[in-house]
Amino acid sequence: MATPTTDWTTPSLFSSKNELETPVLTVDLDTMEDNLREYANFAETHDVRLRSHVKTHKNAEIARLQSQISNGGGIVCQTISEAEVMAKNGLEDIYLSYTVVSERKLHRLVWLARKLERFATTVDSIDNIEPLQTVASEHDVPIDVVLEIDVGLNRTGVSPGEPALEVARFIQEQSHVELCGILAYEAHVKGDAATRDEYEQECMAAMDVAEGTVDLLEAEGIPVEEVKVGGTATSKYSGKHPVVTEINPGMYPFMDVGELKHRPFDIRKDDCAATVVSTVISKPTEDRAVVNAGSKTLSLDKPQMPVPKNRDDINYANASEEHGWIDTSDSEEPIEVGDRLEFIVPHVCTTINLHDTIVGVRDGTVEEIWPVQARGKVR
Ligand SMILES: Cc1ncc(COP(=O)(O)O)c(C=O)c1O
């Protein structure tokens, strides 16, 4: 008897989507390309750079595609090891939207700054500038930094206004740390705003705060060349503010249930490119089917559950690791063991991070198999 090989479970190019072993993470390529073009067109229309956040997919080929579509807009990474994967795969313009403090990591930043055409990292206090200056001067490699200001998320970032000015002045005094702009990540709006008007007002209010700090720094003779903002939900609102020079969305190629839930006025199911295809493995009762996609396939780090892509008469009700409970009590079509059910993923970034590959499908045929190269690259 033949020895089982992992090839049995590996998706193959040009096979039919209907024949893929499940559970499998797929991306509809037409939908993804529409989303890529939509954000690129927005950026062009509003004269901002589109620098895509690749934390979402962790794949260099998609990153290159995004960079091409945005006319060389570069990419954003969230961890050094993610940036290293991108750099080793030919990406040349990387912004690290994360503050780094350990000495060994700072040496790796120097490696990135040496290797890349363009590299910048993030700082938000004297405490993370001092060690960076020490390591950068030891290697005699100047490092560009972006000063993060807190415009309402209450995560990282120095307070806007005078506290930001104080840190900016400190940067100006360093020999190997150079200020190239500010980061004003306004993701709190996604939780607060419920309507298009509220998104518009709250994003503009956050950007007014950023502008106040830019004006203050510039009045003190500190030029602020870049103002980076935005995730998928907010960047198309914030990007209209005149102070903004760059938007950094991550999830936009794929969308997910979070985006659907937060912006039903902007996003429809048809805009969601990333789905998990599952198989019904049990139908114990009339009102319950069980699929082979649970929390090890569909990340449930946020309150939202997966949403069926092509039907409105069933609900993904609960999950354990390898099982998904499907409530079929209102089902209008029979569901049987062996049926395939497709779900829009609750949170696309953490879902992709659970998979080895992203399977790109066009018109029902597998056209791309992208490895999730920076999967697990958290350091
Ligand atoms: C600083 C920063 N910029 C941009 C993004 C991308 O946002 P989104 O995933 O909503 O597109 C993130 C996501 O966590 C982020 O932390």
Q: What is the pLDDT of residue 10?
A: 78
Would you say 166 and 173 are in contact if contact means Cβ atoms under 8 Å apart?
no
Q: What is the pLDDT of residue 11?
A: 82
Q: Atom 15 of ligand 1 has which residue's CA nearest to it?
A: 231
238-262 tens-digit pLDDT? 999 999 999 999 999 999 999 999 9
Phi and psi at 37, nearest 5°, equal -65, -40
Best probe residue, ligand 1, of 36, 55, 96, 149 (max atoms within 8 Å of C-beta): 55
3-state secondary structure of 206: helix
pTM of the entire structure? 0.96
111-147 tens-digit pLDDT? 999 999 999 999 999 999 999 999 999 999 999 999 9
**Which DSSP symbol is given to 149?**
B
As a whole number of Å, the CA-based R_g of the chain is 22
User: Above pLDDT 90, what percent of the chain?
Assistant: 95
Q: Atom 14 of ligand 1 has which residue's CA nearest to it?
A: 231
186-214 tens-digit pLDDT? 999 998 999 999 999 999 999 999 999 99
Q: Domain 46-252 falls in which CATH fold?
A: TIM Barrel (3.20.20)
Best probe residue, ligand 1, of 153, 185, 226 (max atoms within 8 Å of C-beta): 185
Q: What is the pLDDT of residue 266?
A: 96
Q: What is the pLDDT of residue 189?
A: 97
23-64 tens-digit pLDDT? 999 999 999 999 999 999 999 999 999 999 999 999 999 999
Which residues touch 279 (CB under 8 Å, ≥6 apart)?
Answer: 22, 23, 291, 292, 338, 339, 340, 341
Q: What is the pLDDT of residue 12?
A: 87
Q: Atom 1 of ligand 1 has which residue's CA nearest to it?
A: 97
Compute, in angstroms, the gap from residue 114 CA to the centroid of ligand 1. 26
3-state secondary structure of 211: helix
Are domains 12-26+268-371 and 46-252 of this chain identical in fold? no
CA atoms within 13 A of residue 289's CA, in its CB half-sphere: 25
- Tokens at residue 284, please? 């114990």
Residue type (1 letter), 47: D
Architecture of domain 12-26+268-371: Beta Barrel (2.40)
What confidence tier does 185 reach under pLDDT thresholds 50, 70, 90?
very high
Atom of ligand 1 nearest to the CA of 148: 1
Cis peptide before 23 (omega within 30 of 0): yes
Please state, rounded to an integer, the average pLDDT across all residues of the chain.
Answer: 96
The residue ranges of every structural domain in the chain are 12-26+268-371, 46-252
Mean pLDDT over residues 160-181, rounded? 98
